[in-house]
Amino acid sequence: MLDTSPLTDAVERFADRLRAAPQSRLQRGAAAEGLALARELAVRAQRLEGADGAVAPREMPDEGVFAVGDQVAVAGTDLAEALRNAATASPGMVDEAVRLVAEAERRALA
């Protein structure tokens, strides 16, 4: 089974920072960065879960600046689970997802 703990650790750290961020920072772009990341992680999870490509990935809705931390956490957890269960998953896919989270966190909270 693939070790996805680096991904879940990175996702939880960023989600917690978004949850603790002041409204002004969220409105200045941190929430938008978080939502973009959550959407990307969700699409990756859906693709792993439905490898036949028959169903187009669903887009995570914008639920507002105060929900984005939870959206990042849910999408990241879903991707970690999909990576653990997918026969085609590789450690490189985990590394790439961790990199995406780190980059989004840097842009959002710099």
User: Using CA atoms, how far apart are residues 88 and 5, in angstroms rounded to an integer?
Assistant: 18
* CB contact at 8 A, 38 and 68: yes
Q: Look at the pTM and tell me if it is higher than 0.85.
A: yes
Return averaged pLDDT per consecutive 10 residues of the chain, 110 residues in all: 96 98 97 98 93 78 98 98 93 97 96
Q: Which phi-psi region, left, alpha or beta, contains residue 13 (left: φ > 0; alpha: ψ -120 to 50)?
A: alpha
- The confidence score (pLDDT) of residue 67 equals 98
- The confidence score (pLDDT) of residue 56 equals 82
Instruction: Indicate the domain borders of the chain.
Output: 5-109
Torsion angles phi and psi, residue 85, rounded to 5: -100, -10
